[in-house]
Amino acid sequence: MTTPADALRIAIYDLDRTVLRTPTFTLFLLWAAWTRAPARLLLLPLYAALAIGYALRLYGRDRFKPAAFRLFLGTHLTPGEADGLAARFAGWRVPADVPPGAGAAIARDRDQGFRLLMATAAPEFYAGAIADALGFDAVLATRHRRDANGNWLPEIDGHNCYGAEKARRIGEWLDANAPGGTSHVRAYSDHLSDAPMFALATEAWLIGRKAKLTAIAAEHGWQALDFEESPEAQPCA
């Protein structure tokens, strides 16, 4: 597929199980609690109960995530605390948890003139630090409310950046950064919940190692890619 020379090229990456192997939300909460208030790890049984309720669909992510945030991080994080935790967490996970294919794809997309956009349901304060560590140009993530002093609060500001909401925010970003619909969009994600994001893409890449994912990708007209395989098995401009 060819792209006009003046078209804006954009590569959109999901975070969990795509750019990083390990899902970040629970890992960050446990790591941050251990780092700043280890006694909060005694609340793990309450977190397990919350997770079970979420798995049983008694409530959604918009309720589960703020409650989990409050359990392990308390009622707020100061800007300095949030920045420090985010930078240390990103330094721990990058590059150790980046699959070889993901690192190669990011480098190649950058070399081919693509702007790099991370789009994730993770909280924006640490997703932004991970995106910065990997050289991304922009990040769309779940926003959290902030008080008059700039402290980060457990409550989500708006909606969880997931599924249709993620696609809506990507659409807004594209409208602002690629007016006229002239962009060539390359999108990567490991999960079917990102089908709305894939619908915005010129190239959609489903990331994973299972044969089932290849069949799902073929069924939807997407392409399949294993970021654990040789970096050479990657898309070309």
Q: How confident is the model at residue 120, as a pLDDT?
A: 98
Least confident interval from 9-13, 69-73, 129-133, 214-218: 214-218
Q: Considering the chain, what is the average pLDDT of its residues?
A: 93
DSSP labels, 107-138: HHHHHTTPEEEEEEEEEHHHHHHHHHHTT-SE
State CA 177 to chain mean position distance. Answer: 20
Residue 180 pLDDT level (bands cut at 50, 70, 90): confident
pLDDT for residue 202 is more than 70:
yes
CB 223, CB 191: distance < 8 Å: no
As a whole number, mean pLDDT of residues 128-148 equals 98
Q: How confident is the model at residue 230, as a pLDDT?
A: 58
As a whole number, mean pLDDT of residues 5-17 equals 88
Half-sphere exposure for 55 (CA within 13 Å, toward CB): 6
Residue 1 pLDDT level (bands cut at 50, 70, 90): very low
Q: How confident is the model at residue 152, as a pLDDT?
A: 97
As a whole number, mean pLDDT of residues 146-150 equals 97
* Residue 234 burial (CB count, 10 A): 16
- 3-state DSSP of 208-227: CCCHHHHHHHHHHCCEEECC
* Residue 152 burial (CB count, 10 A): 23
